Amino acid sequence: DATKDFNYFHAQRVMDKYGPKLYIGDLKDREEEPANPFAAMLPDTYGELVPFGDPSWYQGWRSPYYTDSHKKFRKAIREFMDAEVTPNIGKWLEAEDIPKEVITKMAKIGFLQSCIKGVWNKEYFGDVLPGGVRPEEFNWFHFIIAITELSRGGSLGFVWATTAGINIGLAPVLNFGAKHLKDLVAADCANGRKYIALAITEPWAGSDVSALKTSAKLTPDGKHYIVNGIKKWITNGTWANYYTTAVRTGGEGMGGISLLLIDRNTPGISVKKMKCQGVLGSGTAFIVFEDVKVPVDYRIGDEGKGFKYIMKNFNTERFYIVLQALAASRLCYEDAFKYAHKRKTFGKKLIDHPVIRNKLAHMARQIEPIQSWTENTANQLNQLSASEQVKYLAGSIALMKAHSTIVFEYCTREAIQIFGGAGYTRGGQGERVERLHRDVRGVAIPGGSEEILLDLGVRQAQKLYPAVPKL
């Protein structure tokens, strides 16, 4: 019986993948695995049941937020990920090629559309949702589940490859675009038939959006814009059919920025794939616009309001990133926790060394508050108007985004320390931890760097602070 040796050198997911094909029977008098005490202590548990490895409501804790609708939704998505994604994700990422068929399958069950935002748009998304959830039931807690479960594949590259375009690129069209633009792209992109990307960042303008230089000048007849400029680090840009593009239609600063929807097939556009450290397979692109002719009625919203639209879009984008960083942090903790119960050094398991328990404790104590923060935020998103969300949540979400990526970086480092060489190797038991370590900067920088967002959070707080009365 090689069971113990096999389990010592391989993660359980290896047995889950190959075991059913190789199974021929059970040994007599084999040692039964002890039941997880969590399942006996608390009813209604779900998932791996590693303490702090999943959100507490997965482990039977009571929550005022989640209903049977959310549980059915979670179950359907986890089953999809286990069947379609997790067994294949390693080879997809090594080839840096996420099959578009996966996106189509996600859309067929309503999974893809669930990753756009916490409000269901039946006109463009359809009426099919995972687990038989009704469109009117869908809310921001379903969105949390969708991004959390999507991230459990252990690759933020996969998350961005499948959902970044619709989350950050389609949202401005849905929120601010004219009806004819929504009709042109929303249903096709939301259902995985076509793809869209948000094109804002330039070599000289990242977090400082107001410094962008890509120009859009009106033709003499006023019917078209002529676009010239460069966009860089554009996620999904290599395969996008459309670009939601920030351009300068006016003078310097934020007041001169507008948004245009640009068709990829328009003459004058050249696209080059960029090689990045992590978030593999997400189609990061370098895009050049040379005398690109765009109809005026492809402008998203009003001229000169682009900066305002981008800032409003940031709340959802940053919340989307927070959920990825949180789920990835939990994966690092979960894998390290399991490995610490298998690996032996100096005659005892790693988990029996106080220094290892200390590392796990510091990971867990930083992970859990983010969960509460995200759920509190989702509750506000369910109830506040769009203008109230911008006023009251922008600063908090900015701080949450910075905090979550700092914690994510910490958890990848500590998990790799626990895995040792196995955490430094592509493939094997530390595969997910090693991959996620390369993904850290891919979420720490987009949506605003940590330094910018920490400052923004306090500046937003200043705006909400009432004038100090005179003594």
The pLDDT value given to residue 83: 93
- Quick check: 39 pLDDT over 70? no
451-463 mean pLDDT: 94
292 or 24, higher pLDDT: 292
- Hey, is 283 helix, strand or coil? coil
The pLDDT value given to residue 37: 65
Closest listed residue to residue 91, CA positions, set 339, 396, 427, 464: 427
Q: How far apart (Å, rounded) are the C-alpha atoms in residues 462 and 466?
A: 8
348-354 mean pLDDT: 95
- Residue 132 near residue 60, CB atoms below 8 Å: no
Q: Output 453-460 pairs: Cβ under 8 A, ≥24 positions apart.
A: 453/318, 453/398, 453/399, 453/401, 453/402, 454/398, 454/399, 454/402, 456/394, 456/395, 456/398, 457/395, 457/396, 457/398, 457/399, 457/402, 458/395, 459/395, 460/394, 460/395, 460/396, 460/398
pLDDT tens digit string along 423-443? Answer: 888 888 889 999 999 999 999
pLDDT tens digit string along 85-106? Answer: 998 998 898 888 889 999 999 9
Closest listed residue to residue 296, CA positions, set 239, 238, 247: 247
Which of 29-43, 205-219, 359-373, 412-426 has the least mean pLDDT? 29-43
16-22 mean pLDDT: 80
The model's confidence at residue 17, banded by pLDDT at 50, 70 and 90, is confident
The pLDDT value given to residue 41: 64
Distances (CA, A) of 98 to 77, 271, 440, 464: 18, 19, 20, 44
The model's confidence at residue 33, banded by pLDDT at 50, 70 and 90, is low
- Residue 242 near residue 211, CB atoms below 8 Å: no
Q: How far apart (Å, rounded) are the C-alpha atoms in residues 67 and 81?
A: 21
Q: How far apart (Å, rounded) are the C-alpha atoms in residues 129 and 150?
A: 15
- Quick check: 207 pLDDT over 90? no
The pLDDT value given to residue 137: 97
| Strand pairing class (257-263; 299-300) | antiparallel
- Quick check: 211 pLDDT over 60? yes
Share of the chain above pLDDT 90, in %: 78
- Hey, is 81 helix, strand or coil? helix
- Quick check: 255 pLDDT over 70? yes
Which helix or strand (DSSP H or E) is residue 69 part of?
helix 68-80
pLDDT tens digit string along 152-195? Answer: 989 999 999 999 999 999 999 999 999 999 999 999 999 999 99
Residue 400 backbone zone (phi > 0: left; psi -120 to 50: alpha; other: beta): alpha
The pLDDT value given to residue 210: 86
Provide the whole-model pTM: 0.91
The pLDDT value given to residue 351: 95
- Quick check: 468 pLDDT over 90? no
85 or 2, higher pLDDT: 85
- Quick check: 471 pLDDT over 60? no
Which of 153-157, 239-243, 351-355, 364-368 has the least mean pLDDT? 153-157
Side chain identity at 100, as an amino acid letter?
K
The pLDDT value given to residue 16: 77
The model's confidence at residue 21, banded by pLDDT at 50, 70 and 90, is confident
pLDDT tens digit string along 46-63? Answer: 988 999 999 999 999 999
Residue 283 backbone zone (phi > 0: left; psi -120 to 50: alpha; other: beta): left
The pLDDT value given to residue 465: 85
The pLDDT value given to residue 10: 78
Q: What is the mean pLDDT of the chain?
A: 92
Residue 31 burial by Cβ neighbours in a 10 Å radius (0-12, 13-18, 19+): exposed
